[in-house]
């Protein structure tokens, strides 16, 4: 009972004190990077979609469904994949063996054991030719040829030759790549900018940079690194109680203008030893705050919820008096 009470207290603090909205619910809604107001439902063996109010807006009739991105969603009908719009109308014929989601106006699709890319009219922009393919991000997409991964641009030109065991998409101009059993980071010219030396044992996620930090494993321990590859998590005490401790990154505070700053905070459950790491934006003049990024981890540093940018970022909310949000405000808005 005590453990449950502690968790409820922390959920309340995170949802009502920091931003006055439910962070956990917000993250659940963002289970994938883009939902665009519609969430898949599974009823009687078929997939459909409901809106934010819970109303079914696309009747369950698909064998499988991805998620909406840029107004379209890939769905499986029989054994083939196509794309529907938000009314459930089939916009791109179900003729592919597999299909991803649209990003930067292009989606990767598979047919006859090869991957290529199409536009929103279903026309090929890059012919079927790859063993595997990811999504476009910052103008580049990962592709697999001969068992190795590299990157192409939107014309299909290979800008970074296939040479890696595994890769992730580009965030903030840097992408994680794997050579052997270790991970590091390259820039868009394919040059290694952070040494290939990190472990990463999260089952479903890969390391990526956002707002200047990435989570990696060093000597069996989870750490945050900055864009130089140095450990970035310089956590200073901010506030606490018998149930939690709040830390903040004193060294890496970013001032956007004379009124607004961004600061990382680490929230630790003292009993469960679980923790979350959040990037917060604070208006020091108006005394308002909003959450830009969120991730939660178990006591061993394993990922519980993906540390990812929250799209559709909330507006700045007034800081609740006598809260941990106010404690953070007092520390950084001096």
> What's the confidence (pLDDT) of residue 160?
97
Domain ranges of the chain: 235-332
Q: What pLDDT does residue 199 have? A: 81
Q: What is the dihedral of CA 197, 201, 205, 207, to 10 degrees?
A: -20
How many Cβ atoms from other residues are within 10 Å of residue 313's Cβ? 12
Cβ atoms < 10 Å from Cβ of 73: 29
Tell me how far the alpha carbon of residue 310 is from its chain's centroid: 7
Q: Convert 196-232 to b/e letters by CB count within 10 Å (16 or more is b).
A: bebebebeeebbbbbebbbbbbeeeebbbbbbebeeb
Phi, psi of 263 (to 5 degrees): -145, 140
Would you state the pLDDT for residue 60? 96
pLDDT means per 10 residues in the chain (334 residues)?
Answer: 38 39 34 65 95 92 94 96 97 97 96 97 98 96 98 97 95 90 93 88 62 74 77 78 86 86 87 82 92 74 55 74 88 86
CATH number of 235-332: 2.40.128.710
Q: Which residues lie across from 166 on neighbouring strands?
A: 178
SS3 294: strand
Is residue 50 within 8 Å of residue 88, measured between CB atoms?
Answer: no
Closest listed residue to residue 320, CA positions, set 11, 14, 2:
14
CA-CA-CA-CA torsion for 216, 217, 221, 225, nearest 10 degrees?
Answer: -40
Question: What are the counts of helices (DSSP H) followed by strands (DSSP E) for the chain?
Answer: 3, 29
Torsion over CA: 187, 153, 145, 109 (sign) = positive
Query: 3-state DSSP: the chain helix, strand, coil percent, rounded to 5?
Result: 10, 50, 40
User: Cα(88)–Cα(86) distance, rounded to whole angstroms?
Assistant: 5
Structure token digits, residue 83: 């794309």
Task: Give me the pLDDT at residue 217, please.
Answer: 78
């Amino acid at each position: 009972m005590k453990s449950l009470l502690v968790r409820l207290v922390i959920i309340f603090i995170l949802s009502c004190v920091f931003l006055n909205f439910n962070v956990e619910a917000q993250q659940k809604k963002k289970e994938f990077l883009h939902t665009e107001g519609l969430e898949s439902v599974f009823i009687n063996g078929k997939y459909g979609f409901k809106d934010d109010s819970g109303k079914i807006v696309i009747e369950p009739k698909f064998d499988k469904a991805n998620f909406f991105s840029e107004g379209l969603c890939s769905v499986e009908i029989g054994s083939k994949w196509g794309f529907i719009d938000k009314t459930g109308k089939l916009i791109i014929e179900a003729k592919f063996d597999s299909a991803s989601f649209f990003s930067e106006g292009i989606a990767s699709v598979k047919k006859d054991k090869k991957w290529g890319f199409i536009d929103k009219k279903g026309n090929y922009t890059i012919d079927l030719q790859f063993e595997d393919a990811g999504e476009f991000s910052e103008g580049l997409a990962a592709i697999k040829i001969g068992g190795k991964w590299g990157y192409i641009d939107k014309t299909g030109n290979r800008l970074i030759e296939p040479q890696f065991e595994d890769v992730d998409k580009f965030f903030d101009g840097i992408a994680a790549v794997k050579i052997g059993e270790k991970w590091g980071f390259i820039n868009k010219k394919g040059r290694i900018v952070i040494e290939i030396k990190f472990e990463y044992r999260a089952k479903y996620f890969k390391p990526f940079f956002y707002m200047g930090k990435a989570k990696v494993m060093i000597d069996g321990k989870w750490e945050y690194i900055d864009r130089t590859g140095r450990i970035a998590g310089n956590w200073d005490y901010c506030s606490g109680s018998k149930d939690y401790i709040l830390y903040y990154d004193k060294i890496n505070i970013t001032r956007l203008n004379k009124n607004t700053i961004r600061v990382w905070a680490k929230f630790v459950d003292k009993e469960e030893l679980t923790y979350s790491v959040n990037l917060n934006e604070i208006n020091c003049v108006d005394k308002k705050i909003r959450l830009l990024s969120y991730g939660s981890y178990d006591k061993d540093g394993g990922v519980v919820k993906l540390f990812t940018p929250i799209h559709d970022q909330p507006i700045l909310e007034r800081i609740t008096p006598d809260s941990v949000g106010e404690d953070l405000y007092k520390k950084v808005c001096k």
